[in-house]
Structure 1
């Protein structure tokens, strides 16, 4: 039991690192999709302006 504690702690640390990495990737994807969405809204607004005038 004494020998398993360090292995468990290392495994938990590794899982935490992986979780943080995945969260960072998810955040980056969300930011990128938000920027793309705003760009599409701008394009739609521009095209609507061309149609009206």
Structure 2
């Protein structure tokens, strides 16, 4: 009877770690897209020479 109330595994820690990992991944992808969009466009180099 007591063994029915015994939790074999607590999923809370795993769910929190997966959520943090997903948040970090989304943040890194956002930073990467931001760098790609804000990069300077390469113009003609004939004017510089």
Q: Does TM-score exceed 0.5, indicating one fold?
A: yes
**Structure-2 residue corresponding to 1:35:** 31
Dislocated runs of 4+, deviation >6 Å: none
Stretches of structure 1 that go unaligned for 5 or more consecutive residues are: none
Normalization by structure 2: what TM-score?
0.72
Normalization by structure 1: what TM-score?
0.68
Stretches of structure 2 that go unaligned for 5 or more consecutive residues are: 45-49
Structural RMSD (CA): 1.7
